[in-house]
Amino acid sequence: MKIDPRPTPPPVRGFRFSGVHGGLKPRGKRDFGLIVADRPVPCAAAYTTNSACAAPVVVAREHTAQGLAQAIMVNSGNANAGTGEKGVAFTRWSCRELGTTLGIDPTLVVPCSTGVIGVELERIPYSRAVSLGADGLSPRGFVAAARAIMTSDEFPKWSHRKIEINGAKISVAGMAKGAGMIRPGMATMLSFIITDAVASTAALDAILASALPNSFNRISVDGDMSTNDTVVLMASGSAAGGETASQDSVGFARLSAAFAEIMDELSRMIVIDGEGATKMVDVVVEGAESDAVAVRAARSIAESTLVKTAFYGADPNWGRVVCALGNSGVDFDEAVLSIDVDDVGLVRAGDVVSDEASRAARKAMRSDAFVLKIVIGQGPGTATVVTSDLTEAYVKFNSAYTS
């Protein structure tokens, strides 16, 4: 299921990018990425809800609170998490280092780190990475940056859209990293989505608030939430005529849809690239009392170890699904309970349809991607959580994770 996304995103006006090997990872792998705007621009951001958040998240929250940013700085291979006040001090220093190098205000730098937890970063190699990254900045450096932020990812993740607003050609492009420690609220990931549209901070906040619940907050690989999750949106305003400064302006819906589509694509790439994963599954719950109740039920099913191993074995063991549903604490009506695998009706009114249906469901579950739909009642609530199967490869990889 591993993919290498194509085509390559075109340049986004008002931004430059770089991805270099600064010596933070061994064997010459890219380990430092930059996204730099030509000037301070509106931004919106969301971060992990893990109370043990990493040092860069602490500093990034402070910096993006002003609604403006000019640079996103990412190192991979080291999460700078579990490093206490030393880690925070290092992050503040790194922002000053990049600020001095680029001649920008260090509070306009959004710092991000990803990799091993509990290891301190060192200033000398990081300073070298900053220098090399600054020297390598280019409007066509997007792919290099996307590769530099990878850790256990097997492929770089990017997506882009071209739209038109008031006659102006608008570009929206996003990159992400993530493959393990993936759980809703947010997934274990970094993602940066940029546009050359004219958009206010309030507009970007609204776009992020709308798109996040149905993308990065609705995926799960292993049920573990990271210390470093970060999503940042930036708008350079370099596309003349593409005014989307508020939710009431012409083109806001188009821009919002483009961001939402990109975030959905990137979130699904993260699940596809789940450590050891061989399948992507949309767990859909319908008929709940409310959407919030449906989300709780879908998450319980999507994160069940027994259900996920059944996905791996293409085993239509619907009893595991019902068990996970019961563990969610959500009330459901067995008299109307139905379970479908793609277009195969497996269970109706709480009973398996037939042996033939079970065989057809098993065949559908052998696919790289399928939909598991559960109707639990007659209410209006519905939700989808995208998850992966759980394999021996996941256990082997995470029993000896080093970078």
Could you give the count of Cα atoms lying within 13 Å of 167 in the half-sphere of its Cβ?
Answer: 2
**Helix, strand, coil % over all residues of the chain, rounded to 5:** 35, 30, 40
Annotated catalytic residue, options 83, 114, 188, 201: 188
Name 65's Cβ contacts closer than 8 Å, sequence gap at least 6: none
Name 49's Cβ contacts closer than 8 Å, sequence gap at least 6: 185, 186, 225
Rounded to the nearest angstrom, the gap between the alpha carbon of residue 389 and the centroid of all alpha carbons in its chain is 18
- Residue 47 β-bridge partners: 230
From the list 149, 185, 398, 196, the residue with the least C-alpha distance to 295 is 185
188 counts as catalytic: yes
- Bridge pairing between strands 32-47 and 230-235: antiparallel
Name 122's Cβ contacts closer than 8 Å, sequence gap at least 6: none
From the list 95, 102, 107, the residue with the least C-alpha distance to 64 is 107
What DSSP state is assigned to residue 65? T
Q: Which residues are catalytic?
A: 188
